[in-house]
Amino acid sequence: MSVPEETVTGKERIARAFACEEVDRVPWVPFVGCHAGALLDVTATQYLQSEEHIVQGVSKAVELYQPDGIPVAFDLQIEAEALGCDLSWAEETPPAVCSHPLANGAVLGDLNVPDLDQGRIPLVLNAGRRLRRAHPDIALYGLITGPFTLALHLQGTDIFMKMFDSPADVKALMAFCQRVCLALSDAYIDAGCDVIALVDPMTSQIGPDQFVEFVTPSMTEVFEAVRRRSALSSFFVCGHAQQNIPAMCDCKPDNVSVDENIPLDYVRDECLDRQISFGGNMQLTSVLLLGSEIDSQKNAIACMETAGQKGFILAPGCDIPYATPVKNLRAVAEVVTDPYKREITTTLATEEADADRLNLEEYGQADKVVVDIITLDSEACAPCQYMVDAVRKVAPEFEGIVEWREHKIKYRESLVFMASLMVRNVPTICIDGQITFVSRIPPRDELIRAIQNRINEKLRLRIRQQRAHLLILGGQDEDVTQVADNVDQAVRELGMNVAIERIDDPDTICSYGVSPQQTPAVVLVNHQIKSVKRIPEVAVVKEWLKTL
Amino acid sequence: MAQDTLRQPVAVWLLTGFLGAGKTTTLNHLLKGPLFEGANVALLINEFGSMGVDGALVAPGDYSKYEINSGSIFCACTQAELLKALTTIADDRRIDHLIIEATGIAQTCDVERILALPVLAGAFDVRGNLCLVDAENFIRTAAFMQAVVAQVRWADALLINKTDLVDESQLTQLQEVLGSLNSRALQRLVTQGRLPEGFLGQLEHCPGPSHDADQRPEGIVTVSVQSRDIIDRTAFFETLRRLDREILRLKGNVRFAEGVCFVEKVHRSVSEKEACSDLGGETAFVVIGWGTSKEDLTSAFASCRLPGEV
């Protein structure tokens, strides 16, 4: 039986997912690093060097993105900096390591596991403590540079050739990096972190044999140590690392998290077979950074559907880019936390592709004002019901002038209609085809005002669009001439654009339903332009005909 | 990005290769070449520690330089930086050619994927992908780094540099190995990173290998042999001779009945030295093979153990 959401904290939800237990919904962990700098309007350099900014930035992300878990900081250079690597700072990315002590004359014996007051270590630990107090219900992730990536920071790329030339040296270096990881893990746990994530992207560069030989011993030891402290552990990798997933699992982390370079179904199968939780792998650049809210939601849902309900943590593949639009991440949070939103986006995702869109450019030109309410189903969806009620209650105010109807997108024709009106959210009120209220139940006065505005606008349009044709039927006698003079004067005085035509042919007069004996007679023909250079849809023509 | 359908796309030249392969030297030669003479050229340099071209070593000239600070690691999380730089270059209507230097750990497919994003549609046209190969060190790096092999596989041309540091038979074998990894790429032996006259004009860009670049190459395999058993000296060297072509490199301690020796095989030369104490007193060596499987190599050396001896 699933657990009601309101009784479960994010921290508990993460713990259950890590244990591959059933959860009320998929937990969501946005990897907010330097992106939080953008939320505060400071550079990545300013952000990652300020405890205050980190606390404020992460708190802002918590407020905006409703996460179940969040990292304290995402910066894989903190340990390297404390160990003597020089950093090159940038405005929108974490710093880069630009010198490697072991490639510049230092020997491993010169290096010591950093004290907790070295470099920026105290800064992130203090930030962690403060975030723990500020957000007791969220799972805090302490991110640690994985031993192989740290070894590469310290040694430089020589490490790859040393794996052949002097593997013992590489193993000694890995053992040192393991000690650094252990010290930092303990410190993050002491600061209140729930999850220790070892982030080791450089392992994507090596094959499984080298992984097992050089990385597995250190990783296994660190995960075991985290387990002894009753904390949770995660192994983050990004890049083309599919070949190492089984070996990563064999290190016995509680969770494996990957980016978009590795198929999620592959990771799911490998992890769940071993009772290991897994996470990922939303697309960072093409979707979260460059895509729309809908793209982000669809990507999140695709991940959740592939992953299934068990043991999965929804997360971006890696550190969220600095300039990622807030609205995209909020949209993801919506589909994670709101089942209605998820259902709507899922329906759109599956049906929209083959929905034959209608051309509704002329929609809304009927005499009456048409109010369309796009809903999931007002009987099943509470917000939909309230929106329909709001329209139903004001409709009598406009009896005979306004028509309203509900379109339930569970029916395909309604879905096509919704897509044709470019409606993206449910429930939505459209007035004469114009999206007017999106996911918001309007107050009565506001709804009445919106409908009245449309009625006024339509009147103005109609006056502008109408063109009359006035026919004066009859022979050449005086009465008919007098009628023509009066009509001329009236048109002149009103300044109207009316074409006047005299018709004296008896057959033509009869064709208007007037006998020649009934002349003089006047026939007013109203022309109303409904459509120009387009083929109107049947649905649209029906609206026009209803006004006759 | 401002799109202009009338504008010719910027011609893109990718330059890949591991650290030390000679990318900076080649880049400097490229910049002086006739193709770029009088043209507006932009350089996009991707720094990762010491893995990229050292921007300071690029000869000063009339070109714009964009450097990416790959704050994290070159993976999905840094593609935003690459994209940002490409968007800026695309918006600069003066640029005719763009040379992208990818770090030794960059996967060429990531760069090509970014260039193919709809947001950059029509802005760039990849004309050539040149991969610098260090004749002396390629085998050792390729055996341990996925990206080194992937870069070779995606290249339109393989420029084998530092050819003066290896003998002819080694070079022939290297060319065979490279051909097995990428049969369609043009191979050129170069010294000092100097490109043959008119070489760029001969290139025809073909994005990507036909198979998954994630897969480890069947051609190059690495086996780590560790054993407490005593190895039959004759059988061991017989195995080296039998697998002379397949074993590209071998290095480490071997515990023979008469004692532990450090054995090294570089191409077809085999040498023995005093045991390396760092490796302990037992058999511990690494083999880089080509055109064989890990299982076959493992079993070949397992059969060299003396029965019953520990």
Contact A164 B251 (CB under 8 A): yes
Q: Which residues on adjacent β-strands are paired with residue A369?
A: A402
Cα(A374)–Cα(A397) distance, integer angstroms: 21
% chain A with pLDDT above 90: 49
Instruction: Answer whether A166 touches B (CB < 8 Å).
Output: yes
Residue numbers in A near B79 (CB within 8 A)? 284-285
Interface of A with B in 308-327 (CB under 8 A): 317-319, 321-323
Q: Which helix (DSSP H) or strand (DSSP E) does residue A65 occupy?
A: helix A51-65
pTM over 0.80: no
Contact residues for B187 (Cβ-Cβ < 8 A; gap 6+): B157, B158, B160, B175, B178, B179
Contact A409, A344 (CB under 8 A): yes
Contact B214 A161 (CB under 8 A): no
Preceding amide of A136 cis, omega within 30? no
Residue numbers in B near A96 (CB within 8 A)? 47-49, 69-71
Q: How many CB atoms lie within 10 A of CB B217?
A: 22
Residue A470, pLDDT above cutoff 50: yes
Contact B71, B49 (CB under 8 A): no
pLDDT confidence of residue B300? 93
Contact B49 A100 (CB under 8 A): yes
Among A160, A212, A290, A295, most B C-beta atoms within 10 A, so best to mutate, is A160
Contact residues for A23 (Cβ-Cβ < 8 A; gap 6+): A2, A3, A8, A13, A16, A17, A309
Cα(A10)–Cα(A313) distance, integer angstroms: 11
Q: What are the backbone angles phi and psi of residue B274, rounded to the nearest 5°?
A: -65, 145
The domain made up of A465-528 has a fold known as Glutaredoxin (3.40.30)
Q: Which helix (DSSP H) or strand (DSSP E) does residue A313 occupy?
A: strand A312-316
Contact A131, A55 (CB under 8 A): yes
- CA B231 vs CA A164, B104, B241, B257, B292: distances in Å: 21, 38, 16, 7, 22
- Does the domain at A369-462 match CATH 3.30.1490.150? Answer given as no
pLDDT confidence of residue A303? 94
Contact A164 B143 (CB under 8 A): yes
Instruction: Answer whether A84 touches B (CB < 8 Å).
Output: no
Among A240, A245, A257, most B C-beta atoms within 10 A, so best to mutate, is A240
What is chain A's length? 548
Domains located in chain B, CATH noted: 10-202 (3.40.50.300), 220-302 (3.30.1220.10)
Interface of A with B in 402-421 (CB under 8 A): none
DSSP conformational letter for A205: G
- CA B194 vs CA B54, B58, B163: distances in Å: 18, 15, 12
Contact B288 A164 (CB under 8 A): yes
Residue numbers in A near B249 (CB within 8 A)? 164
Cα(B92)–Cα(B258) distance, integer angstroms: 70
DSSP conformational letter for A408: E
Residue numbers in B near A107 (CB within 8 A)? none
Cα(A204)–Cα(A240) distance, integer angstroms: 6
Instruction: Answer whether A79 touches B (CB < 8 Å).
Output: no
B239 is written with which tokens?
A: 């195995």
Nearest-neighbour CA in chain B from A79: distance (Å)? 13
Q: Specify burial of residue A133 (Cβ count, 10 A radius: 0-12, 13-18, 19+).
A: exposed
Q: What are the backbone angles phi and psi of residue B112, rounded to the nearest 5°?
A: -65, -35
Contact A116, B97 (CB under 8 A): no
Q: What is the DSSP string of A463-477?
A: HHHEEEEEEEES-SS
Question: CA of A85: which chain B residue's CA is closest?
Answer: B49
DSSP conformational letter for A110: G
pLDDT confidence of residue A120? 97
Residue labelled with tokens 């990229």: B52
Q: Which residues on adjacent β-strands are paired with residue B65?
A: B43
Residue labelled with tokens 């609206």: A543
Supply the ipTM of this predicted assembly.
0.76
Q: What is the pLDDT of residues A87-127, one digit of tens each?
A: 888 888 888 888 889 988 899 999 999 999 999 999 999 99
Contact B259, B299 (CB under 8 A): no
Cα(A285)–Cα(A276) distance, integer angstroms: 28
- CA A78 vs CA A109, B49, B55: distances in Å: 20, 15, 25
pLDDT confidence of residue A351? 55
Nearest-neighbour CA in chain B from A303: distance (Å)? 17
pLDDT confidence of residue A74? 94
Give yes or no on whether A369-462 and A465-528 have one common fold.
yes
Cα(A164)–Cα(B85) distance, integer angstroms: 37
Residue numbers in A near B77 (CB within 8 A)? 238, 259, 284, 317-319, 321
Contact B69 A323 (CB under 8 A): no
Question: CA of B46: which chain A residue's CA is closest?
Answer: A96
Contact residues for B258 (Cβ-Cβ < 8 A; gap 6+): B233
pLDDT category, A431, cuts 50, 70, 90? Answer: very high
B212 is written with which tokens?
A: 């998954």
pLDDT confidence of residue B119? 82
Reported as half-sphere exposure (CB side, CA atoms, 13 A), residue A132 has a value of 16
Residue numbers in B near A264 (CB within 8 A)? none
pLDDT confidence of residue B56? 54
Contact A201 B73 (CB under 8 A): yes
Question: CA of B19: which chain A residue's CA is closest?
Answer: A157
Nearest-neighbour CA in chain B from A97: distance (Å)? 5
- Does the domain at A5-337 match CATH 3.20.20.210? Answer given as yes
What is chain B's length? 310
**How would you write A154-184 as a 3-class SS string?**
HHCCHHHHHHHHCHHHHHHHHHHHHHHHHHH
- Indicate the range of A53-57, A214-218, A386-390, B295-299 predicted with least confidence: A386-390
Q: Specify burial of residue A48 (Cβ count, 10 A radius: 0-12, 13-18, 19+).
A: buried
Nearest-neighbour CA in chain A from B142: distance (Å)? 9
Cα(A351)–Cα(A353) distance, integer angstroms: 6
Residue numbers in B near A165 (CB within 8 A)? 140, 251
Cα(A13)–Cα(A357) distance, integer angstroms: 41
Cα(A317)–Cα(A471) distance, integer angstroms: 74
pLDDT confidence of residue B200? 85
- Indicate the range of A29-38, A227-236, B130-139 predicted with least confidence: B130-139
Preceding amide of A263 cis, omega within 30? no
Nearest-neighbour CA in chain A from B214: distance (Å)? 6
Q: What is the pLDDT of residues A259-293, one digit of tens each?
A: 888 899 999 999 999 999 999 899 888 889 888 88
> Could you state, in order of their start, the residue ranges of all structural domains in chain A?
5-337, 369-462, 465-528
Contact A259 B76 (CB under 8 A): yes
Residue labelled with tokens 């000679």: B22
Using DSSP, state whether A207 is helix, strand or coil.
coil
Reported as half-sphere exposure (CB side, CA atoms, 13 A), residue B36 has a value of 25
**How would you write chain B as a 3-class SS string?**
CCCCCCCCCEEEEEEEECCCCCHHHHHHHHHHCHHHCCCCEEEEEEECCCCCCCHHHCCCCCEEEEEEECCCCCCHHHHHHHHHHHHHHHHCCCCCEEEEECCCCCCHHHHHHHHCCHHHCCCEEEEEEEEEEECCCHHHHHHHCHHHHHHHHHCCEEEEECHHHCCHHHHHHHHHHHHHHCCCCEEEECCCCCCCCCCHHHCCCCCCCCCCCCCCCCCEEEEEEEECCCECHHHHHHHHHHCCCCEEEEEEEEEECCEEEEEEEECCEEEEEECCHHHCCCEEEEEEEECCCHHHHHHHHHCCECCCCC
Please report, in tens digits, the pLDDT of each residue of chain B (310 residues total): 544 445 689 999 998 887 777 887 888 888 888 888 888 899 888 755 444 445 555 666 667 777 776 543 445 556 777 888 888 888 887 888 999 887 666 677 778 888 888 888 888 999 999 999 999 888 888 888 778 888 898 899 999 998 888 888 889 989 988 988 888 888 999 888 788 878 888 888 887 764 544 444 456 888 888 888 899 988 898 898 889 888 988 988 999 988 898 898 887 778 888 887 777 778 989 898 888 888 899 999 999 988 764 4
CA A130 to chain centre: 29
Instruction: Answer whether A339 touches B (CB < 8 Å).
Output: no
pLDDT confidence of residue B159? 92
A476 is written with which tokens?
A: 């050449």
Question: CA of A99: which chain B residue's CA is closest?
Answer: B49
Dihedral in degrees, nearest 10, Cα atoms B275, B279, B282, B283: -90
Residue A35, pLDDT above cutoff 60: yes
- Indicate the range of A207-221, A426-440, A455-469 predicted with least confidence: A455-469
Contact A24, A310 (CB under 8 A): no
Q: What is the pLDDT of residues A126-174, one digit of tens each?
A: 999 999 999 999 999 999 999 999 998 999 878 888 888 888 899 999 9
- CA A343 vs CA A301, A339, A425: distances in Å: 10, 6, 11
Q: Which residues on adjacent β-strands are paired with residue A278?
A: A256, A312
Instruction: Answer whether A43 touches B (CB < 8 Å).
Output: no
CA-based nearest residue to B138, from B179, B94, B81, B195: B179
